[in-house]
Amino acid sequence: MAPKVLIVEDEDKINRMLQLELQHEGYDTAGAETGREGLEKAMAGGWDLILLDVMLPGLSGMEVLRRLRSSDKRTPVILLTARDSVPEKVMGLDLGANDYVTKPFEIEELLARIRVALRAGKGKAPAAEITVWQLDGLFVNARTREVTRAGQSIDLTPKEFELLAYLLGRDGEVVSREQIINDVWGYDFVGDTNIVDVYIRYLRKKIDYGFGNTLIHTIRGVGYQMRDAAASP
């Protein structure tokens, strides 16, 4: 069955071009030209991937993404943005986007990113197969996305949660920044790997600071490790 792609883009010429190109590549496509229409179609479900323009009439692409991720954590979303702004890209990734492409773009690059996002989406385990993690008072439920430490509720963004679950799932293994980029972001990230350091810092502020025992450890020259230092021999 052909992968189903929703294209939310208000410029009619770009929307039609993308649909024609993707249909030529064997995808089943549908379009939306406003944020509200895009959100309605996205929330209806059944999509293998969503291409989402950031600048949309009605609701912005960022707001569409935020509302979509409140109920759908898994459908891959690639943002289309005319602004090559690091804060905007970080905001999109933080809200749960899988990738972004800056306009104007080459269709070959977009097609490649779509293929990568689809492969990454297929490789993720269903929520029912993922377990609950506990480490020195830290409790993480992947199904409900509940996070607490020492009984205190901790609010994480979608990307922070994915990173935390990934580190916990490695069972004390040291992972490099490159591994984290490939496995957590789910695509060949175009940019500096120091974005991992930024998110590690966000996580530390929320789950380590003020709790005494440090759980996220920097392994100099290698990467990061999640472990209970107090329990180490």
Output the DSSP codes for 52-113.
EESS-SSS-HHHHHHHHHTT-SSS-EEEEES---HHHHHHHHHTT-SEEEESS--HHHHHHH
Q: Could you tell me the pTM of the whole model?
A: 0.57
As a dihedral over the C-alpha atoms of residue 220, residue 221, residue 227, residue 232, rounded to 10 degrees, the angle is -60
State residue 211's pLDDT score: 86
Q: Give the tens place of pLDDT for each residue, 62-117.
A: 999 989 888 787 889 999 988 766 777 778 888 888 888 888 889 999 999 899 88
Do residue 114 and residue 10 come from a single domain? Answer: yes
Question: Does 211 share its domain with 145?
Answer: yes
What's the token pair of residue 166? 């990934």
Q: Is 220 helix (H, G, I), strand (E, B) or coil?
A: coil
* CATH assignment at residue 96: 3.40.50.2300
Residue 123, pLDDT score: 52
Domain check: are 111 and 193 in the same one?
A: no
Judged by average pLDDT, the poorest of 44-48, 92-96, 153-157, 159-163 is 92-96
**Which of 51-55, 147-151, 188-192, 206-210 shows the lowest mean pLDDT across its residues?**
188-192
Q: Give the chain's domain count.
A: 2
pLDDT at 63: 92
Q: How confident is the model at residue 121 (pLDDT cuts 50, 70, 90)?
A: low
Question: Mean pLDDT over all residues of the chain?
Answer: 85
So what's the pLDDT on residue 193? 62
Arithmetic mean of pLDDT, 113-132: 66
The answer to whether residues 148 and 109 belong to one domain is: no
Give the residue among 201, 164, 204, 198 at the shortest CA–CA distance from 184.
Answer: 164
In this predicted structure, what is the pLDDT of residue 233? 44
H or E, element range at 119: helix 107-123
Residue ending a domain, choose from 123, 149, 179: 123
- Cross-strand bridge partners of residue 223: 219
DSSP for 20-40, please give it. HHHHHTT-EEEEE-SHHHHHH
List the domain range (segments joined by +) for residue 137: 127-231
**pLDDT reported for residue 45:** 87
Are 54 and 134 members of one domain? no
DSSP state letters, 160-187: HHHHHHHHHHTTT--B-HHHHIIIII-S
